[in-house]
Structure 1
Amino acid sequence: MTTESLPAVDIPTLSDDPFGTAILTDPYDFHERLREAGPVVYLTRYQVYAMGRYEEVHASLINWETFVSSRGAGLSDFKKEKPWRTPSLLLESDPPDHTVVRSVMGGVISPRTVRQLRTDFTRHAEEFIDSLLDRRFVDAVTDIAEVYPLRVFPDAVGLPRDGRENLLPYGALAFNAFGPQNDLLDAALSSAAPVQEWIWNSCQREALDDNGFGAQVWAAADRGEITTAQAPLLVRSLLSAGVDTTVYGIANTMHSLATNPPQWAALHRNPGLAKFAFDEALRFESPVQTFFRTASKTSMVSGTEIPEDSKVLLFLGSANRDWRKWGTNAAEFDIQRQGGGHVAFGMGVHQCVGQPIARLEAEAIFGALAKKVVRIELTGEPRAKLNNTLKGWESIPIELVPL
């Protein structure tokens, strides 16, 4: 560690690599050290400020004026470096520009939209689980989490059927790109060109059917609420944020339930707890572990000065296990916990606009499982999936024991 890598003020420092294999695989010991080191910590490896406690993470997420997203939600600072793609109009912009597009997307994914989709999503989930019970021995990731969302969500968007296999690689690329230029990002970029081409082509008006979210976005352009240049970028936002986070969230919930049999038993007794089980899993094993912000001005956070232009790494997954917020059992999975307020979907103006759809998908799949499956038993060792931003699983072999 050199003096050049230290901040100008005396704050706790950690030399760990939060994007290294060990922490990406199992971040929780590091999270505890981060939280206990102080409300603001300096990570010398990347020369960034970091927050891991709930209070500071939550406050920074809602303070978009000070901790801006428009300079990139990753390590890269768009004021100093060229973005790898055209920035997201939702995730990588701030008001007032963000307000306009957020309003449009709020109209596309509205409570009325969710109500209209509920019947079809529930029916698909029940038919899907019936087909899995014929096999019993399945993988919770590759047979459930990566399959059900890709059956219902692309149809809701109105995507073309050919090429949907590109959705997961694109999401992996988008979320890896929020981290440093490491092996994970290099691997994602190595085969990115055809994936990105399909994604972009699929966001165009002519590629989308007339009844999905994508067509509604383009209709907003026709009404003059957004420009025709913004329309495909907003459809793209649906594809990068509406697939991977849901896939990871469902897989993480499956893992949490499979490794906590009493919690599964409680859900089986009361399938109405499905939405609460998903919410608790989002808190307990958050799919999105980190996002960056950039300090637009020098500010004080819990007595620590953060200089203007500093990159700030917010550990959402750590905040969601902070005992100061969740009590001494914060590291336990409890589907009857009052879990409202977690930051797994972000918070404030940048809170995930697609979360009602993710919640609907999860409620449908876990409700169907709870009604039809007595036990979920691990049949092999789960394998972690590494991503610079996301926490999840490559494989979770299980047996579904039916009624």
Structure 2
Amino acid sequence: MSATAAVPAPVPTSDVDPFAAEHLAAPDPLHRTLRAAGPVVHLSRYDVHALARYEEVHTALVDWQTFQSGAGVGLANFRHEKPWRPPSLLLEADPPHHDAPRRVLREILAPLALRRLRETWQRVAEELVDTVLATQGPEFDAFEALATAFPLRVFPDAVGLGPDGRENLLPYGNMAFNAFGPRNDLVRADADRMAGLSAWVNDQCARDALSEDGFGARIWAAADRGDLTPAQAPLVVRSLLTAGVDTTVHGLAAALYAFATHPEEWQRLRERPQLARIAFDEAVRWQSPVQTFFRTATTDVEIAGATVPEGGKILMFLGAANRDPHRWTDPDRFDLTRDPSGHVGFGMGLHQCVGQHVARLEAECLLTALAHRVEHLELTAPPRRHLNNTLRSWASLPVRIRRAH
């Protein structure tokens, strides 16, 4: 009796468009479908292999040698297509090109280095919350008044930007994150302002545009020491400005939305404000401001029995992994008793977000200021989403608050 080799199960195929408006607006049903279909699903519309389960997404994120970022972390393959702008030295590069920029930023943005900002940022957060409560009354748009206003104040200050033009940062980030997807209507909607926004951001990255005491100046100082080249310095500043605003804004909005819809968790935070940092990470897990990223296979690679060919694109659904029931108990619930560490909302491994500690500090300051001043918050109407090919974005978050006495 001869043994017969096992025949690999066929890879499930779907013609679904994950970048269609209905899936960007409400991704959870698609995520459940993809997780149920199998560890790998071939998306025929774009000829990419999709990963929606935590185990496979995590593996792809940490194995940078097999799943490279240097060919682009969007749908476009830089092996065959010219990028619309010089690639990010952090996000769209692999070692050795990735090493020096990340080493410089890791030192500049280290938790110890951020401690000197805590007192200033906490004071700004308290002033902002006091002003909003005093001038806007009990009902206001928390997305604009808090989630957007606070990062646009403290982060550009920390980088060393001047006060003019900061309103360009969110549109630029929206454009950059849209560009990771297909050339659909969302990308075309930005076409007429792409050149202007890009030129403005590039201007802000020049040495003489930056204050002498910010993150940007320290990046240029690293170039003076030879840790970076003069050509790399403005690209590293640009990486900060691209990734450091939108993700934090939408992460803060996710946290405010979570508390507006989970009053018992808000009371838990008010009783223990030291949970603010955990609350932010749980909100990032629960809503995943960055929903997707791509990698490119450097060789024929087998994933759970499916072979992805060399040069093939892999679409990682970070948002789906962050709600995988095989990794998280009751994953659709926002829960401050959960340990959210291990979520992939900031990536994982070599390319994990180098600025995540900055985002956590911003969230800690704002949520702590609110917890001391607001007894209760709730939605007054359904929040509105802003569609983006990569980001789980917001347009408005109407809330009603009751002040603490």
**TM-score above 0.5:** yes
Q: Which runs of 4+ in 1 moved over 4 A?
A: none
Q: Decide whether the 8 Å contact of 1:170 with 1:196 is kept in 2.
A: yes
* Deviation readout 1:43-76 (Å, 9 max, x if unpaired): 1111100000000000100000000000000000
Give the CA deviation at 1:189: 2.3
* Deviation readout 1:91-134 (Å, 9 max, x if unpaired): 00001111111101111111222111111111111111111111
2:274 is aligned, of 272, 275, 288, to: 272
Give the CA deviation at 1:193: 1.7
- Between the aligned partners of 2:33 and 2:203, the Cα distance in structure 1 is 45
The answer to whether the aligner puts 1:156 opposite 2:158 as a matched pair is yes
Identity %: 53
1:188 is aligned, of 183, 187, 190, to: 190
Q: Decide whether the 8 Å contact of 2:9 with 2:305 is kept in 1.
A: no
- Between the aligned partners of 2:239 and 2:272, the Cα distance in structure 1 is 35
Q: Decide whether the 8 Å contact of 1:66 with 1:296 is kept in 2.
A: yes
Q: Decide whether the 8 Å contact of 1:277 with 1:336 is kept in 2.
A: no
Write out aligned runs for 1:219-368 (5 A). Answer: 219-327=221-329, 329-368=330-369
Q: Which amino acid aligns with 1:130?
A: D
Give SS of 1:146's match.
helix
Q: Which amino acid aligns with 2:123?
A: R
- Between the aligned partners of 1:208 and 1:398, the Cα distance in structure 2 is 36
- Between the aligned partners of 1:392 and 1:164, the Cα distance in structure 2 is 19
Match of 1:48 in 2: 48
Match of 2:3 in 1: none
Q: Which amino acid aligns with 1:223?
A: R
Aligned residues: 395
Give the CA deviation at 1:10: 2.2
- Between the aligned partners of 1:189 and 1:271, the Cα distance in structure 2 is 44
Match of 1:140 in 2: 142
* Deviation readout 1:19-63 (Å, 9 max, x if unpaired): 011000010011011011000110111110000000000010000
Structure 2, unaligned runs of 5 or more = 1-7
Q: Which amino acid aligns with 1:331?
A: D
Q: Decide whether the 8 Å contact of 1:291 with 1:313 is kept in 2.
A: yes
Q: Decide whether the 8 Å contact of 1:9 with 1:305 is kept in 2.
A: no
Give SS of 1:85's match.
coil
Write out aligned runs for 1:102-181 (5 A). Answer: 102-134=102-134, 135=136, 136-181=138-183
Give SS of 2:89's match.
coil
Aligned Cα RMSD in Å?
Answer: 1.1
Give the CA deviation at 1:190: 2.0
Give SS of 1:147's match.
helix
* Deviation readout 1:270-319 (Å, 9 max, x if unpaired): 21111111110000000000000000100111121111110000000000
Match of 2:399 in 1: 398
Match of 1:59 in 2: 59
- Return the TM-score normalized by structure 2: 0.96
* Deviation readout 1:146-191 (Å, 9 max, x if unpaired): 1000110000000121111110110001100000000101112221
Q: Which amino acid aligns with 1:183?
A: D
Q: Decide whether the 8 Å contact of 2:247 with 2:289 is kept in 1.
A: yes
Give the CA deviation at 1:9: 8.1
Give the CA deviation at 1:143: 1.1
- Between the aligned partners of 1:192 and 1:306, the Cα distance in structure 2 is 34
- Between the aligned partners of 2:268 and 2:39, the Cα distance in structure 1 is 36
Q: Which amino acid aligns with 2:88?
A: S
